[in-house]
Amino acid sequence: MKSIYVLYTGGTIGSAGDPLAPMSTAQFRALVNQMPGLSDGLVQGEQIRYVIDGTPQPLDSSNMTPSDWVAIAQQLAGVYADYDGFVVLHGTDTMGYTASALSFLFQGLDKTVVITGSQLPLSYTVNDALANLSGALVMAAKTGIPEVTLYFDFLLFRGNRAVKVNANAVHAFDSPNFPALAALGTQLTVQTALALPPPPAAQALSSPGRLQALKEQLQRFSAAVTEFSVPIMSLYPGINASTVEAIVNGTRPPVSGLVLLAFGAGNGPSNPAFLGALSRANAGGVVLMDNTQVLAGTVSIDAYATGEGLAKAGAISAYDMTPEASLAKLIYLRAQGLAPAEIKVQMVSDLRGEITLESQP
């Protein structure tokens, strides 16, 4: 029988009241125990045992910060050796960011981590919460995918490829640039060829030495992520240099990276003052990522003169990475204390399946 650790962090799935707010872990645990097929810590008919734990303070995911990402990773690392798989229950608004962040934090992952939540609370008579929770338990126990994943509406996505695409529908998430890893219908279908390979035994977190090294690294990260900022700036018609300067120079703690949501295939204004402000930021050690604000597709930074201008200012192509993955990856690399030049190298390297480098013409 597989044993799954469920970490409740808050979010709509465990919310109640008017306006909705996350209930306590004890209340949520009692509610789950009343659900058909999930009583007594068992998934009926599936040979899956689960326990529900919670973060110290359940949150609406709009209140999540990089410090919370590290705290979630620390809590999972603390019980990693005791369970076969893991489910993180999380609010949908920033679920894509947390899924991306955890994928980078868990180097050497050799078990399945599934993040899920819901659009309607489990406490409602009509909801999508029960299907997402029970499905996530099955995915964590049975897919054998050694990745941080995101499960929603019967589909399992790579966590750092998933984005929220609908604020109201139960099909709230999709993976525009990478296929689903698994699907749950009358049978479980796993696309094994799409999953990342398990790490070598010596590098896997099931190795006590490697797990201890991760715990020590996460402890360092818990302090490091509070010492810098990585904003996201969406480009828009008429954006000017003062906007860039206000974000780069006026944000505290100081900015060390900036995710640009550019037009189309990574294009931006050719305004010399605007590009000059970006160039000065780059010269000051700010790593500039050229992402597209379009849902699907890839950045081709040299395809147009307007994209080439961003490149000359120091921006590097995000290729087909989601903005969520770019942000989380920048924070992960900066928290290691890497120099800007090394961060740029790593940002255009495939660390956890987050980027398709050959997608650029």
pLDDT of 249-272, one tens digit each? 999 999 999 999 999 999 999 999
Task: Give the pLDDT score at 315.
Answer: 97
Q: Is 222 exposed, middle or buried (0-12, 13-18, 19+ CB in 10 A)?
A: middle
Task: Give the pLDDT score at 233.
Answer: 98
CB 248 within 8 A of CB 278: no
Domain ranges for the chain = 2-221, 229-359
Q: Is 12 a catalytic residue?
A: yes
pLDDT of 183-232, one tens digit each? 999 999 999 999 999 999 999 999 999 999 999 999 999 999 999 999 99
Task: Give the pLDDT score at 359.
Answer: 43
Q: Report phi then psi at 90, rounded to 5.
A: -150, 150
Q: Is 184 helix (H, G, I), strand (E, B) or coil?
A: strand
Pick the CATH number of 2-221 from 3.50.50.60, 3.40.50.1170, 3.10.180.10, 3.10.129.10: 3.40.50.1170
Task: Give the pLDDT score at 306.
Answer: 76
Averaged pLDDT, groups of 10, the chain, 361 residues long: 98 97 98 95 96 97 98 98 98 98 98 98 97 98 98 98 98 98 97 97 97 98 98 97 98 98 96 97 98 96 85 96 98 98 98 82 40
CB 190 within 8 A of CB 49: no
From the list 9, 12, 25, 149, the catalytic residue is: 12
Pick the CATH number of 229-359 from 3.40.50.720, 3.40.50.40, 3.40.50.300, 3.40.190.10: 3.40.50.40
Task: Give the pLDDT score at 360.
Answer: 41
Task: Give the pLDDT score at 358.
Answer: 67
Task: Give the pLDDT score at 238.
Answer: 97
The pTM of this model reads: 0.96
Give the whole-angstrom CA distance, residue 204 versus residue 337. 23
146 preceded by a cis bond (ω within 30 of 0): no
